[in-house]
Amino acid sequence: KLENATIKAELGRASWKLFHTMMARFPEKPTPDDSLALKTYIQLFARLYPCGDCAAHFRKLLERYPPQTGSRNAAAGWACFVHNQVNKRLGKQEFDCNKIGDFYDCGCGDEDGNKKN
């Protein structure tokens, strides 16, 4: 089957949106179990990402830059950094990671709402 760059890019945008929004909602002071859960999620994301070529490149990035899951700031900063590594490889502009603060909003309106389940 032919590669379809438009569909691949659409998947990328949706995936990055979820990825960064998860980091923005990660606890500021996670428990060790929270941190392990996020690290595991990232490893599985890199294993199962539907574009196999993208996933293989991303796994190499994870080896070089292991996921930082000790706090929300660490996780969000790390995710911004690795996305920038992908941007660089694809010849895209770098994103200013200082501006990541309010950029990813889940629209849930309830800070820590993900704990009420």
Q: Which residues bind ligand FAD (CB under 6 A)?
A: 8-9, 12-13, 15-16, 20, 49, 53-54, 57-58, 80, 83-84, 86-87, 90, 92, 95, 100
Q: At closest approach, how far in Å is the CB of 117 from ligand FAD? A: 26
C-alpha distances in Å from residue 78, one per residue of 2, 13, 95 = 33, 18, 13
- Closest C-alpha among 79, 76, 72, 67 to residue 30: 72
Q: Which two tokens stand for residue 103?
A: 């950029």
Query: Residue 74 Cβ, how far from ligand FAD at the closest point, in Å?
Result: 14
Of 24 and 30, which CB lies nearer to ligand FAD in the complex structure?
24
Nearer to ligand FAD, 9 or 44 (CB): 9
- Measured from the CB atom, is 8 or 47 closer to ligand FAD? 8
**Residue 83 contacts residue 95 (beta carbons within 8 Å):** yes
Helices 5-25/32-48 angle, 10° precision: 180
